[in-house]
Amino acid sequence: MTTELFIQYCFAGLTYGSIYAIVAIGFNIIYNTTGIINFAQGEFVMLGGMISISLLPFMPMPLAIASAVVLTMVIGALIEIVFIRWLKDPSVLRMIIITIGISILTREAASHVWGENIRALPYFIGNEITAISILGARISPQVLVVIGVCGLMVATLGVFFKTTSVGRQMRACSANRTAAVLCGINTRNMVTFSFILSAGIGALAGCIMSPITYSQYDIGTGLAIKGFTVAIIGGLGNAGSAVIAGLLLGLIEAFSVSVVPLAFQDAIAIAILLIILFVRPHGLFGSSEAAGLKEF
């Protein structure tokens, strides 16, 4: 393998890896406040991409993306308020099935609204063939946009959870819900807020990846599985290590192309997921003691 090819694969892996990381962080945010794995997480990414593409003819791209993110956040809030907020102590099995149902409904609605066509946002800088040369490898500027925006999102989220009042309240919720209630935190609102937040970051990821990976009504399930794999590898609920795990999975996938046929690429991520689940269900970076206290 030449250096150029190596770098090329690296950037491909990092691009996909950062998207997976964002989806995984979306999983983690909701899991931390509710204990629910939101199987519809991938659908937020799809909605972000699709809505921004539909808005593009009417407004400049930054505004279209911002509106798409806001709209998806509204949808995320509605989903939580309509389907989840009023349930009293639902069992895990019930929540799994409900979020799967939400995912199917969202996807089917999207297929009726947007059809089965593959769409894409235009490239943010230049076009399909614009490329920057990095150590001999040719990298599209969009790749750098994806990696940059994802990095920025992770950093912003970190600051948000550390310094703002709402961020602290959300962390209090995930640490100990009962204690949070006793401190006067409205935990129900925090749950709604976690759905809004993860819908927002999912939608933004969906917009920035759209020029490279395209948007279609059914990309959600695949992304959800990859995102979940990453969340598991990093240790469920652990946002920081999700980033490392995401990049790791992206790189593994990118380099696997040179070993196994492309058709099996998805199977590789899932095989990794299964192996991790069997061998270290608390994740590569998670602690087994902490995992023992959780009910999966």
Partner 1 sequence: MKRLLTIAPLLAAVIAIHLLCAATGTLYYLTQMTMSAYYALLIIGLCVLMGYAGQISLGHGGFFAIGGYLSAALTTHNLEHLQDNSVISALHSFGVLQSGQDLYGGTLLVVNPWFACILAILAAVVIAYLIGIPVLKLKGHYLAMATLGFGIIIYRVVLASEYFGEADGISEVPAFVLLPGLVVSGDFAGRVQNYYIAWGLLIIGLILLLNLIDSRVGRALRAIHGSSEAADAMGVNTARFKLQTFVLSAVFAAIAGIFLTHYNGGIGPSEAGVMKSVRYVALVAVGGMAHLWGALTMGVLLNFLSLRGAFGAYDDAVFGLILILVMLYAPNGILSVRWRPRWARKKTAVEEG
Q: Which is nearer to partner 1, 162 or 294 (CB)?
A: 294
DSSP 8-class letter at 119 = B
Amino acid letter, 158:
G
Q: For residues 107 and 109, what is the distance between their CA atoms, to the nearest angstrom?
A: 5
- Residue closer to partner 1 by CB (options 159, 271) is 271
Task: Report the nearest approach of partner 1 to the CB of residue 25 (Å).
Answer: 17
Residues whose CB falls within 8 Å of the CB of residue 2, separated by 6 or more in sequence, listed in order: none
**Of 30-38, 45-53, 139-147, 245-253: span binding partner 1 (CB under 8 A):** 30-38
Q: Which of 228, 241, 254, 283 binds partner 1 (CB under 8 A)?
A: 228
Q: Does 94 bind partner 1 (CB under 8 A)?
A: yes
Please give the Cα distance from 249 to 17 (Å, whole number): 6
> What is the Cα–Cα distance from 280 to 266, expressed in whole angstroms?
21
10, 31, 44, 219 from 250: Cα distances, Å: 9, 23, 20, 17
- Residues numbered 70-89 forming contacts with partner 1, rule: CB under 8 A: 83, 87, 89
Select from 143, 170, 232, 233 the one that contacts partner 1 (CB under 8 A): 232
Q: Which of 286, 211, 188 is nearest to 242 (CA)?
A: 286
Kindly tell me which of 11 and 228 has the beta carbon lying closer to partner 1. Answer: 228
Nearest-angstrom CA–CA distance, 225 and 207: 19
Rounded least distance, CB 123 to partner 1, Å: 30
- Which residue among 98, 121, 196, 247 contacts partner 1 (CB under 8 A)? 98
Q: What are phi and psi of 132, to 5 degrees?
A: -105, 140
* Separation between Cα atoms, residue 7 and residue 3, nearest integer Å: 6
Among 1, 93, 129, 182, binds partner 1 (CB under 8 A): 93
Q: Does 35 bind partner 1 (CB under 8 A)?
A: yes
When asked if residue 90 is in the footprint of partner 1 (CB under 8 A), the reply is: yes
Task: Candidates 19, 22, 25, 37: give the one binding partner 1 (CB under 8 A).
Answer: 37
Does residue number 277 form part of the binding site for partner 1 (CB under 8 A)? yes
Contact flag: residue 167 with partner 1 (CB under 8 A): no
Examine residue 274 and tell whether it contacts partner 1 (CB under 8 A). yes
The residue within the footprint of partner 1, chosen from 59, 74, 92, 132 (CB under 8 A), is 92
104 binds partner 1 (CB under 8 A): yes
Which one of 18-26, 35-43, 69-77, 154-162 is the stretch in contact with partner 1 (CB under 8 A)? 35-43
Partners of residue 138 on adjacent β-strands:
133
What CA–CA distance (Å, rounded) separates 209 from 170? 28
Q: How far apart are CB 140 and partner 1 at their closest, in Å?
A: 28
**Total binding residues for partner 1 by CB under 8 A?**
49
- Binding region for partner 1 (CB under 8 A): 34-37, 83, 87, 89-94, 96-98, 100-105, 107-109, 112, 176-178, 221, 225, 228, 232, 236, 261, 263-264, 266-267, 270-271, 273-274, 277-278, 281, 293-296
